[in-house]
Amino acid sequence: MSNFKMKYEIVPRYLSGPSKRRPCIPMQSVIFMVAHDTGNPGSTASGNVGYYENSRNDMEASAQIFVDDKQIIECIPFLTDAPEKAWHVIYNVTTDNQRYGADANDAAGGVELCYGGNVNLTEAYKRYVWVLAYSCWKYALDPAQAITGHHILDPKRKTDPMNALKLLGKTFDNLIADVVLEYNECMEEDDMSKEIEELKGKFQTLLNTADVHIKKINDLEAKASMSVPDWAKDAVTSAVSKGLIDTPEGRSYDFYSLLAVFHRKGLI
């Protein structure tokens, strides 16, 4: 996308499908996003996607995107191709329906944050925040309203993404604020580039207009004081011989035109 700063690469590594984890069912619309963490400290994005692929027909649990400190991997199409459903929130909780009027599996993207072990959580968090912001931009969602947590939708069973956020000393509200900031920064940079291009265009228009006016001024100045043109020489000679003018050179275009008219009419 050209209107949002692509700070990181999104690597498509789709699970084989149709399978239990990737049913290959298209999403009809994307209404909101669900923030998750893996709940498995030390696991990487690549490791999680590899595990999903190897167990693709053993269970249904899935998500579209995994993020660690080195990669953003999309294992079910969502941002790099037409979005497909993933099974990341159970259907028999109704919080998603109450909040957004739809089930998360049908209308939300699921993003998993990797943490712990050798994962640099600060770097992983930067990518996590960015991909949530980019998802909101891609699907025209308000990042301040359209992101919820798994722990919010299913509080009796789930604590993610708070497992990872607590290690960073962050609340869920901090996450949302960070996503909003990232969204605005990526958009502001693009808007600035657009504004610069618009200013360049306006400046070029001014230059072109100035060139036209300068040409007109030069033409007027040339006509205000010029040598006798060939077409007026007979008229000037006649006017000089009759003592009507004594300085024929350096007169204006209009002066010579008037003499030529008088001469043709036989007046001089």
Question: Domain coordinates of the chain in residue numbers?
Answer: 10-191, 218-268
- 10 Å CB burial of residue 9 (0-12, 13-18, 19+) is exposed
What is the tally of helices (H) and strands (E) in the chain?
A: 9, 6
CA 33 to centroid of chain Cα atoms: 20
Given a cut of 80, whether residue 107 has pLDDT beyond it is yes
Q: Which tokens sit at 56?
A: 């693709």
User: DSSP character for 84?
Assistant: B
pLDDT, average across residues 36-63? 98
Residue 194 — pLDDT band, cuts 50, 70, 90?
low
pLDDT, average across residues 250-260? 86
One-letter amino acid identity for 229? P
Q: Tell me the C-alpha distance between 98 and 78, whole Å.
A: 24
pLDDT, average across residues 154-170? 98
More confident residue, 135 or 206: 135
pLDDT of residue 221: 66
Asked whether 46 and 73 are in contact (CB, 8 A), the reply is yes
Whole-model pTM: value is 0.72
Q: Tell me the C-alpha distance between 90 and 103, whole Å.
A: 9
pLDDT, average across residues 155-180? 98
Asked whether 32 and 107 are in contact (CB, 8 A), the reply is yes
- CATH 3.40.80.10 applies to domain 10-191: yes
User: Which residues on adjacent β-strands are paired with residue 167?
Assistant: none
Least-confidence region, from 22-31, 125-134, 246-255: 246-255
Residue 192 — pLDDT band, cuts 50, 70, 90?
low
More confident residue, 27 or 207: 27
Query: Tens digits of per-residue pLDDT, 29-42?
Result: 999 999 999 999 99
| Residue 147 CB neighbours (<10 A) | 25
Given a cut of 90, whether residue 5 has pLDDT beyond it is yes
Query: Tens digits of per-residue pLDDT, 198-241?
Result: 777 776 877 777 677 777 766 766 677 888 889 889 988 998 88
Q: Tell me the C-alpha distance between 147 and 177, whole Å.
A: 11
Asked whether 136 and 143 are in contact (CB, 8 A), the reply is yes
Residue with tokens 């660690």: 68
Average pLDDT, the chain: 91
pLDDT of residue 190: 54
Question: Max alpha carbon distance in the chain (Å)?
Answer: 116
Q: Could you tell me where the DSSP H helices lie in the chain?
A: 45-54, 95-100, 104-107, 121-138, 150-153, 162-167, 172-224, 233-241, 253-264
Q: Tell me the C-alpha distance between 127 and 34, whole Å.
A: 15
Given a cut of 90, whether residue 94 has pLDDT beyond it is yes
Q: Name the 3-class secondary structure at 14.
A: coil
pLDDT, average across residues 134-154? 98
The phi and psi torsions of 110 (rounded to 5 degrees) equal -110, 125
pLDDT of residue 1: 41
Q: Which tokens sit at 15?
A: 């699970």
- 10 Å CB burial of residue 232 (0-12, 13-18, 19+) is buried
Least-confidence region, from 47-56, 193-202, 229-238, 252-261: 193-202
